[in-house]
Amino acid sequence: MAAMEDRQDQKPTTEEPAITATETSLEELKEMLVDIQTNISNILLENMSVRNELVELTTTVGEQKLEIAYLKNSQTKITKQCADAEYELAAARKRVNEQQDEIYELYELQDRMEQYTRKNSLEIHGVPESAYSTTEEIILKLAEVLEVSISPQEISRKLKRKGNKPITVKFANHKIKRNIYK
């Protein structure tokens, strides 16, 4: 038995390194497999994390696309409103310019009309109120002194102001005014 044990001890010594090498390689393979499984597990976790981030990014991109579409639509509306406002402003400016021209023409017309009405009018200064009882009376006396013949019908209008203010007389004809001036 001892001889057998010696043989087994001898045999394994030649085969022992092979078994030990096999067992070692199996242990190494087992460790590698465990490492690979750990790495795969980590990669799967990272993959899930990346997937979740991708889903969030996809959602965010979708929301941003909607927001961009809304902003484009808003910009289009605002651009249209701006163009409409510019058109209205141009029309308003044109109306204002036309009205300014019309106002200028009306002032010119008013001035010509006032000149025409002043053509027949005469303003008399420095006549004291106590010198006459009616404005017609003083005008007729003044015409008599100036040797101009005037009838009361030729006096169109007479304005007497209170106090020692001028008397404004409008004659029916501008020739009468001219005769008084001469």
pTM: 0.43
For residue 107, pLDDT beyond 80:
yes
> Which of 5-9, 96-100, 138-142 shows the lowest per-residue confidence on average (mean pLDDT)?
5-9
Best mean pLDDT range from 5-9, 130-134, 141-145, 173-177: 141-145
Give the helix/strand (H/E) hosting 124.
strand 121-124
Can you tell me which residue has the tokens 């003083």? 138
- Predicted local distance difference test score (pLDDT) of residue 38: 96
pLDDT > 50? residue 10: no
- H-only helix segments in the chain: 2-119, 135-145, 174-181
Strand order in the sheet with 121-124: 121-124, 167-171, 155-159
Residues with Cβ within 8 Å of residue 146, at least 6 apart in sequence: 180
Give the residue, 116 or 33, on which the prediction is more confident: 33
